[in-house]
Amino acid sequence: MIFGLSSYAQTVVDAGQKFNAANQQMNANAFSQAVSLYEQALKTTKAVGPDAADLQGQIENQLTIAYFKNGISLYKKRQFDQAIAQLEKSKQMAKTTKNAKFTTLCTTYISRVYYSKGMSFINNKELAQATAQFEQALKVQPNSIYAIFGKSLVAKEQGNMPQMMLLVDKLGEMAATNPKAANIYNKAQSMAFRTLMNNGASELQKEHTTKSLEYLKDALKYHAGTSNLFYYVAIANIKLSRWSDAIVAAKKAIVLANKDKSDLYFTLGQAYQGKKDKANACKSFKQVVKGPNVAAAKYQIKQVLKCS
């Protein structure tokens, strides 16, 4: 009996020594080493049983934190799978110790790691793999603003504009009640605007004028508009002989432009000319002083409109 008691005491002492050594590793930010020592100490206390319950509770609390910090350290190193494994262990330990704070924290970060992993696939144009990671993030955290944003980027890369807009709009709804979503929504709005405007410009070059205007109109849902956008709108409306709409768009483009406006005035002149407003057409063409349209503007002034 005396030998048994001595052996038991020594076992608890060993667990305590490992626990203290693990604490030292934690203080030195050596989280992986700390995790290993805490796990050894925990295994020992579980073998001892109820008589080591107090020490076991202390170890479990510290191990929850160690798993979490080790997971975050791996995440920063972009070792995503290892990070997720450590965060999952922290989450499970937090549930065991009824630590609601760490349960929530781990859930948030596990979802975030899946998002980051998905973004790495997007950068490599591996869209199916990226989607799978974003779906995993949403499985862990159904309202993950990051995962929804990630899926909007996949839709953009796939050329699926309706799906992209649907996801960006969902972020807008979330941002209305969640201040944390505001920054992501702003980023998503900027992405959607640029994408739709560029698509509008591309369709305009292909002479798909009506489709171009649809894209440009959708772009304005996410931004007040830029000089380039209204320039494209003006050109598209000229092609469709919508002179008044073209004039309005060209004027907006001129107001927003912060560089030479000659091309914009040429477009405005074309719109006034189409509307048979000679005075304003002449006035606009006379503002064309630089760029490739100078000769064409002079021709309109002298030969076609015969401006005074």
Each residue's pLDDT tens digit, 171-187: 999 999 998 899 999 99
Label residue 8 by pLDDT band (50, 70, 90). low
Q: What is the pLDDT of residue 16?
A: 87
Contact 23, 62 (CB under 8 A): yes
Q: What is the pLDDT of residue 52?
A: 83
User: Rounded distance, CA 2 to CA 37, Å?
Assistant: 29
Label residue 1 by pLDDT band (50, 70, 90). very low
Contact 232, 214 (CB under 8 A): no
Contact 31, 66 (CB under 8 A): yes
User: Rounded distance, CA 4 to CA 115, Å?
Assistant: 53
The residues, ordered by sequence, that sit 6+ positions from 157 with a Cβ below 8 Å of its Cβ are: 122, 125, 127
Label residue 90 by pLDDT band (50, 70, 90). very high
Cα 216 to Cα 154, 190, 199, 244, 276, distances in angstroms: 21, 14, 8, 17, 26
Cα 131 to Cα 95, 151, 155, distances in angstroms: 29, 6, 10
User: Rounded distance, CA 128 to CA 110, Å?
Assistant: 20
Regarding pTM above 0.85, the answer is yes
Q: What is the pLDDT of residue 10?
A: 60
Cα 142 to Cα 146, 147, 161, distances in angstroms: 11, 9, 23
Asked whether the predicted pLDDT for residue 18 surpasses 60, the reply is yes
Contact 272, 234 (CB under 8 A): no
Contact 98, 60 (CB under 8 A): no
Asked whether the predicted pLDDT for residue 5 surpasses 50, the reply is no
Asked whether the predicted pLDDT for residue 41 surpasses 50, the reply is yes
Mean pLDDT, range 286-304, rounded to an integer: 96
Q: What is the pLDDT of residue 9?
A: 55
Asked whether the predicted pLDDT for residue 75 surpasses 60, the reply is yes
